[in-house]
Structure 1
Amino acid sequence: MEKIKDGMWKVEVDCSRSSDLTHVRRLFEDYIREDDAVFETIDYKALTKDQNVSFIDQLGRKALPEDWLLQTVSHVFIKHENNLQKTTLDDADKDNDEKEIEEQDKLFDISQAILTGKNLRNNEFVEDFVKKGYRFTAMTYQFHQKGTPMIIHITADFKGRNRQFEVSIDYVGEWVGYEGIEPTEVPITREHKAMRSKVWANAKEILDGFKKKT
């Protein structure tokens, strides 16, 4: 919870289940007048097919301040848009077609497109799965902080039955010794958790930018 100004607070909800946001919203509605509270969320329904790709693309470059450089992406998941419409557990179980892109050449191409600022939508593989009706649902970005040995893995994920956008920190480490050796994991601090909030806020700015163009 962060104080914005007198009488105004920002409350960030870290949902572990898709129903958590609904419960929190009801809690606030019970104690706060509707006009006094603003709820901000990001879900896949707010994005068109092309915006879904552009969102993932831009987030890799804008997620963190300029002193954090994107190195690579991993754990890329896609899901058919028809099954993103499923809202019940039974439907989700029947049509769980979420796929992880594991081929290293495809991951490399996606990473390079984001790193070099090329339009990810023009990537041959991405163009093919978009035409087939698939959308990005999750991606892990690895960033390195300039001038330091620190690296961080951040996952952007349209999660749960409602496909609400969430940000998680999966790993924080630092390079010790010679290059090429695996980094040493370090504890996730409050500062790192604050970075998660920054990524979400920047994601919201990207979404708002799409809305201004429509």
Structure 2
Amino acid sequence: MEKEQGHCDFFMFENKKGEWQVEVDCTRSADGKEVQKLFSQFVDKETIRISSLNIDTLSDKQTVGFFDTLIDYGITDDWRFEDVIALTFRRGRESKDEEENVDDDSTQEIKNATILSGIRQAILEGGGLREDAFVKQFEENGCIFTAMTFEFSHKTIPEVIHIRAEFKGSPKVFEVSIVDSFETKGPDAKREVSSLPLKKNLEIRSAFWNQARRIFAEVVSEKNDS
């Protein structure tokens, strides 16, 4: 019996001369890391630099600030932030020895409607995540803010998506995925589950990831200047 091998798709875009972006359509959490390893085997390390958005580059407070700013920037001007569907905390950061043996019990995903409603209200009122009492409590307890699932609605077409922004894997690298999509119908805007075409799915994820990349670079720059 032949040994089974996994596979994943990745796409390359030239952002500008000398800079290429590689997007991995992951089926496993390790896919992005494997593609990065693949490229590192073939590129000339003296002339080419491979970079990713790694949570270890940010302090705990900067991570919260990163997600806060990501909400403000959104996807593009065509999309409106509506709600926080879920958020994920992790108890502390892994050491190098622990990275390959991450315990799921150390990660907690919050979907409680009351808690999320308070966070949503803080965001819409301009206070941001850090002003929410629940987020403050988790920060004080030494938890790391690692992921959020947002709801965005399109401003001109009847479309709603749930998009997850997450530092994932070992090491924790930033990823974007669309976990749900809906079409709104009728005067009551009733939602029906829909399926985004692959090209549109990729375009939305790419736009959101690039917003994150710009924010990440700004946060890191501020950190280095301080």
Please give the TM-score of this superposition, normalised by the length of structure 1. 0.86
Asked whether 1:122 is paired with 2:131, we answer yes
Asked whether 1:96 is paired with 2:110, we answer no
Equivalent residue in structure 2 for 1:80, among 66, 85, 91: 91
Structure 1: 5+ residue runs without aligned partners?
A: none
Match of 1:61, SS state, is helix
Match of 2:162, SS state, is strand
**Structure 1, residues 99-138: CA drift from partner, whole Å, max 9, x if none?**
1223212101111222332132121111111000112222
**Structure 1, residues 5-37: CA drift from partner, whole Å, max 9, x if none?**
677643323344454344333432333212443
- How far the C-alpha of 1:155 sits from its partner, in A, is 0.3
Please give the TM-score of this superposition, normalised by the length of structure 2. 0.82
Match of 1:13, SS state, is strand
Whether the 8 Å contact between 1:174 and 1:186 is mirrored in structure 2 is no
Counterparts of 1:209 and 1:7 in 2: how far apart (Å)?
Answer: 21
Counterparts of 1:7 and 1:212 in 2: how far apart (Å)?
Answer: 21
- Which structure features the higher share of strand residues? 2
Match of 2:106, SS state, is coil
Counterparts of 2:186 and 2:196 in 1: how far apart (Å)?
Answer: 19
Residue range with higher mean Cα deviation, 64-73 or 79-88: 79-88
Instruction: Map 1:116-195 to 2 at 5 A.
Output: 116-179=125-188, 181-195=190-204
**Structure 1, residues 182-213: CA drift from partner, whole Å, max 9, x if none?**
33423333022111011111111111111222
Residue range with higher mean Cα deviation, 161-170 or 180-189: 180-189
- How far the C-alpha of 1:4 sits from its partner, in A, is 4.4
Match of 1:63 in 2: 74
**Structure 1, residues 37-80: CA drift from partner, whole Å, max 9, x if none?**
33221122111121111111111221311220011011211111
Structure with greater contact order relative to length (CA < 8 Å, sep ≥ 6): 1
Whether the 8 Å contact between 1:172 and 1:188 is mirrored in structure 2 is no
- How far the C-alpha of 1:81 sits from its partner, in A, is 1.2
**Structure 1, residues 121-172: CA drift from partner, whole Å, max 9, x if none?**
1211111110001122221111011122111110011112321111001122
Counterparts of 2:62 and 2:138 in 1: how far apart (Å)?
Answer: 14
Distance 1:209-1:23 versus aligned 2 partners, 3 A rule: same
Instruction: Read off the aligned partner of 2:55 and give its amino acid letter.
Output: Y
Match of 1:183, SS state, is strand
Asked whether 1:204 is paired with 2:216, we answer no
- Count of residue correspondences: 211
- How far the C-alpha of 1:82 sits from its partner, in A, is 4.2
